[in-house]
Structure 1
């Protein structure tokens, strides 16, 4: 099976490298071609070229604007012969725009699966992400062997946009936990307790969570190389606000957390790992 892979950011690169390690036949494309260096696989010159000869296309892009360009641009995936090809989109999209992507793919004879993933670089490197899927069941069944290389847990939700909505809801918890843990660490330090000890105590009590465990070393060492950026969680919480508006529901915690991560933008640290939100609280 020939797989085309578009998008070699932090998470995309981790997924692609794992698929290569699993001996899957990959051709890759990235807007910045240098990110493909060292993968040891063919590099396409455009999304259209990536589509040619691929049985499955995997996308991992920043947002729905990027997906739109890669799918519908002059040299986009859908500009070539894509009949029968399955497009697996692991991007966290806007819940309304993802519906258009389903229709656009169908209109060109391709099959689109929205497959946002839960998890970051470390589980991605081991093929242990969680994948939430919406789209046609027959396409999901056909793509399952590839999806199972990406994630150890798959949830098939079926109805278009439902997987995207669930991912945004998941990231309400993700962003809120990270912001709360960061504030708690900064408060503990300000109260006079050593940072590493604050984190250990939190992990032994109410702060015991996958998120704090995963970010412990980053917080202790203030080393915020990017696994999942503040820019991404800010974008996702903005999409979630749009979802709640259409549902006529308030978003109390998520709206506040979004504005906390907006402060990383004003300080120009939003390209760092989202655990760097700790710096916002430390400055107070």
Structure 2
């Protein structure tokens, strides 16, 4: 089965832009809408006037937004998706949402005659540009089957978890590992430097020892060069860990490591540098 050629895309941040560019490279014809229209200029895509205009032109819409408030606005805000022709359409939401809000989105989209698939992705800008993200999916099985070829262009691994909110919950669990491991590696680098070892040597040694991981491998150059242009921002991991705290509260489970790591990323927010890559948490440890 070939992926659909008639696809809309909303949300051209760092990750969304990489996903969209890769889809275009794979021959998918995209129609896009973004609050900052200039972010689509280098992609050579058709632009829609509004989300409502976009969904009226396509069969499938992919969302990649900052949080659940942004998703709610794109769905139901002024000129949002619900203002357009939604009947029979599929909305693929790759945003990392709040687990409770995402259940509402399934219901709201269904009320407007469309189908909502929550499809949070694991990975960042580089794997997105290569179609090598991991995609988690919850929602209607028939809709999932119809867009699976499209999802296969986004991710090299696709996991179908069926029940609404399960994909989102799993993404939050994954980001507990992501955030805490990044913070641990950053602290280790800062400690090694404080002990008198060159930063690049500390990183190379960690990669040959207990620190060997996809996370440190992906962030080694940013740490070595102290260059923290965002692929995945501190603001995003802080938001995700906050959602995870809410999940643990509903499960009556404590969140030991994740809560501490969340407050470390809160420091980047208080300093106004949470728009930088989340590996920049290294600089927080350097200050202590």
TM class by shorter chain equals over 0.9
Matched, 1:155 2:159: yes
| CA–CA distance in structure 2, aligned partners of residues 94 and 243 of structure 1 | 9
RMSD: 0.5
Matched, 1:137 2:141: yes
Query: In the alignment, which residue of structure 1 is the partner of 2:253?
Result: 249
Gaps of 5+ in 1: none
Matched, 1:125 2:125: no
| CA–CA distance in structure 2, aligned partners of residues 132 and 38 of structure 1 | 29
Shift of 1:258: 0.1
Q: Which is worse superposed, 32-41 or 215-224? A: 32-41
Query: In the alignment, which residue of structure 2 is the partner of 1:166?
Result: 170
Shift of 1:53: 1.8
Query: In the alignment, which residue of structure 2 is the partner of 1:264?
Result: 268
Gaps of 5+ in 2: none
Query: In the alignment, which residue of structure 2 is the partner of 1:175?
Result: 179
Query: In the alignment, which residue of structure 2 is the partner of 1:53?
Result: 57
Query: In the alignment, which residue of structure 2 is the partner of 1:218?
Result: 222
Residues 227-261 of structure 1: per-residue CA shift (max 9 Å, x gap): 00000000000000000001111000000000000
Query: In the alignment, which residue of structure 2 is the partner of 1:91?
Result: 95
Q: Give 3-state SS (helix, strand or coil) of 2:99's partner.
A: coil
Query: In the alignment, which residue of structure 2 is the partner of 1:39?
Result: 43
Q: Say which of 73, 79, 84 aligns to 1:75.
A: 79
TM-score, normalized by length of structure 1? 0.99
Query: In the alignment, which residue of structure 2 is the partner of 1:283?
Result: 287
| CA–CA distance in structure 1, aligned partners of residues 123 and 104 of structure 2 | 26
Aligned residues: 284
Whether contact under 8 Å (2:31, 2:46) holds in the other structure is yes
Q: Say which of 173, 195, 199 aligns to 1:195.
A: 199
Q: Give 3-state SS (helix, strand or coil) of 2:7's partner.
A: strand
Q: Say which of 69, 72, 75 aligns to 1:65.
A: 69
